[in-house]
Structure 1
């Protein structure tokens, strides 16, 4: 039964828009995108894709969730489907999915066979703030629609706990973070359908509480921990590193941010895999069948990247533009206009929604790590994509930018490593295996 949510907090963010096809093309050219590679995602002149932040503006000292919910217009998924079906696409509504589903994401990232055969016995932990009372029920709707096996408390696949590990004394509910939770659970399911899922809910969005939830996830046995939140860096970050994120043998993924060029924490932690974001479109002209560019909507919205002001550079990161930690390491889809389908019933009217933001890319990459297999107990999985075997098993994103910067590769895609997308996006699981 659906739980009635409390009154929704005032929406904090600005509405985001992508204009007509012509305007979109011009914007892409100005931003450095290639029109041929992004053509499949361009909206028809009669439609604008709009979206808003799921979570309210955080109080000082708290982390912001990175989920962006599409509120109107025709997504890239709907356009591609309409083109295949030969029908005029309709604007997004909650009746049917309007974003990429599991088969799309598995196809785009070369995971189809791995998703079908791997992940059994592995547990992906999702760390978020506050409680989503409908988390398990909404996850069941998503998995049932897409033909994925049931993942429930009863069959041992799903577990929801507080930051102290309690299954009964849970945090207060929050509509915005509930949307974030739905997005995270659905993406973990989409990439690794055979994996178990552990949802750890922090009692608030402070780094101390979220970090405690990370520790609890590891204590409960998760080897893959996704974190779809972030905030400004501070001089306390190095202490947070040692207190919450230094977990050898555990793949910890973190959203790189949604505010364009600039570093955030905990993506800046040297112990985590910082995950940037792309615009993902179907492309019949490529062997892969997909194409990606750096996600950028405006000068203040797009994937995060940049140099940490506090965190030391990990030994495996050798780029010279940052004396300290460079963000990002890898990337996956995050552009809401080329977003993913999510089922949610607590934050909004029950139904299907399209989400974007690097909140989508973090659990996607956590799922890929899970498909790749358990890391060795002494390893730091953030290093895996930096090996020769890793860099050769990624889709190199070479087009687009997320802003302006004095050292070009930190904000503009290029061959090989760059800030917005790291070494690239998954092409199978090899880059994420120890």
Structure 2
């Protein structure tokens, strides 16, 4: 009862005070990260009323085709300049190894990516990423890649909204998990909640089997009005839990029809993959969304975020390729990495109809890798070691039920 009361009181106090996620504009140190690690939020502080993307980029590594030896692990492959180089960050082979994923599957699935605005070199950049890691081509010409506006038309696309690296990260992570999946990018007119919600409806109408949303904003009494846009029976909808630790939950992740994706730190110890809760992974207890019947954690009377997780810590980040934003190869993180990765895993298993909500995961939690260790508490908001902000055995807020361990937990 003490923890439950604390969680609700803390959320209410933050709401009354008008506090929101830190701006993190420019380059900042990542809490709890190794000395010298610094990142920047791709989207910075959004305009009033807008949602923000959750992509983070490492700024302590030189951008370019390669990082010799790699501060974060990477897979050796041909870089964009034709040399044999090793992009820093985890590549598809490492991610498939870490999560026990098969190389084949998902050919009948279409994973939609919802983002604000467009980026000019997306098709070419995706080609570089996939060629570097030996993945099959996915192009507009062969019908694998489709980019449309909020109305579902190929043109005109909305202009750049500053989400370019986010869009590249999204398509790269879907490719890493499910190289045979088709990719549908729906470019919302803006980062306004109504535009992004309309883009989700468009994705579902165009036949998406999974829809990934790597953005959010703090839940409040009025955010429920858009919940219906994130409920499309037969379509698996996932959303990032956010990058600012234990706090008021983010929407759309807090909606009960959405699979909320938390974040981990991923590394190898003695040749074995290991994970712990990432300090930035979003978690929280909803004061506005009722407790789903399939969620039974004891210290939150409402919807608890998150449901499942994957790598999100930029200190153990993933490789991304983006030529339009002065990056070339870069190392990325944030729950913007884990959400499209999990969407790709669901697609790889091939049963999106099981994910009208997260209930299937709770019924098959034993097939997932339990993530133990780490915390996303802060000086401003601490749950006293409770599961709401601490990676504990069984369910916890930062990592949910754990991370993928093969496809059994996804109906595969």
Same fold (TM over 0.5): yes
| Partner Cα distance (2:197, 2:36) in 1 | 38
| Partner Cα distance (1:127, 1:18) in 2 | 26
Q: Check if 1:98 corresponds to 2:88.
A: yes
| Partner Cα distance (1:410, 1:379) in 2 | 23
2:3 equivalent in structure 1: none
1:308 equivalent in structure 2: 286
Q: Check if 1:429 corresponds to 2:407.
A: yes
Deviation at 1:171, TM superposition (A): 0.7
Q: Secondary structure at the match of 2:330?
A: strand
Indicate which of 329, 341, 365 corresponds to 1:391: 365
Indicate which of 127, 143, 161 corresponds to 2:114: 127
Deviation at 1:236, TM superposition (A): 2.1
Deviation at 1:281, TM superposition (A): 0.4
Q: Check if 1:168 corresponds to 2:155.
A: yes
| Partner Cα distance (2:389, 2:310) in 1 | 16
Q: CA contact under 8 A between 2:136 and 2:179: conserved in structure 1? A: yes
Q: Secondary structure at the match of 1:303?
A: coil
| Partner Cα distance (1:342, 1:249) in 2 | 30
| Partner Cα distance (1:259, 1:368) in 2 | 24
Using the size of structure 2 for normalisation, the TM-score is 0.86
Q: Secondary structure at the match of 2:173?
A: helix
Indicate which of 24, 28, 36 corresponds to 1:16: 28
- Equivalent residues in 2 for 1:62-211, closer than 5 Å: 62-73=50-61, 78-79=70-71, 96-111=86-101, 113=102, 116-174=103-161, 176-211=162-197
2:245 equivalent in structure 1: 260
Q: Secondary structure at the match of 1:370?
A: helix
Q: Secondary structure at the match of 2:168?
A: helix
Q: CA contact under 8 A between 2:110 and 2:181: conserved in structure 1? A: yes
Q: CA contact under 8 A between 1:63 and 1:231: conserved in structure 2? A: yes
| Partner Cα distance (2:134, 2:263) in 1 | 27
1:40 equivalent in structure 2: none
Q: Secondary structure at the match of 2:310?
A: strand
Deviation at 1:137, TM superposition (A): 1.0
Stretches of structure 1 lacking an aligned partner (at least 5 in a row): 1-10, 20-26, 29-42, 86-94, 297-301
Q: Check if 1:325 corresponds to 2:325.
A: no
| Partner Cα distance (1:229, 1:80) in 2 | 24
| Partner Cα distance (2:371, 2:176) in 1 | 22
| Partner Cα distance (1:359, 1:163) in 2 | 20
Q: Secondary structure at the match of 1:290?
A: strand
- Evaluate the alpha carbon distance shift between residue 77 and residue 197 of structure 1 in structure 2; reply closer, same or farther with a 3 A threshold: farther
Deviation at 1:79, TM superposition (A): 4.6
Q: CA contact under 8 A between 1:237 and 1:311: conserved in structure 2? A: no
| Partner Cα distance (2:321, 2:277) in 1 | 26
Q: Check if 1:293 corresponds to 2:239.
A: no
Q: Secondary structure at the match of 1:317?
A: coil
2:358 equivalent in structure 1: 382
Q: Secondary structure at the match of 2:253?
A: coil
Q: Deviations over 1:118-143 (max 9, x none)?
A: 11121100000011111111111100
1:32 equivalent in structure 2: none
Aligned length: 373
2:11 equivalent in structure 1: none
Deviation at 1:343, TM superposition (A): 0.4
Deviation at 1:146, TM superposition (A): 0.6
- Evaluate the alpha carbon distance shift between residue 396 and residue 266 of structure 1 in structure 2; reply closer, same or farther with a 3 A threshold: same
Q: CA contact under 8 A between 1:129 and 1:201: conserved in structure 2? A: yes
| Partner Cα distance (1:138, 1:205) in 2 | 23
Q: Secondary structure at the match of 1:426?
A: coil
Indicate which of 325, 330, 333 corresponds to 1:353: 330
Deviation at 1:237, TM superposition (A): 2.2
2:221 equivalent in structure 1: 235
Question: Which of the pair is proportionally richer in helix?
Answer: 1
Deviation at 1:68, TM superposition (A): 0.4
Q: CA contact under 8 A between 2:52 and 2:216: conserved in structure 1? A: yes
Deviation at 1:267, TM superposition (A): 0.8
Moved more, 367-376 or 201-210: 367-376
Deviation at 1:381, TM superposition (A): 4.2
Using the size of structure 1 for normalisation, the TM-score is 0.82
- Equivalent residues in 2 for 1:273-292, closer than 5 Å: 273-284=259-270, 289-292=272-275
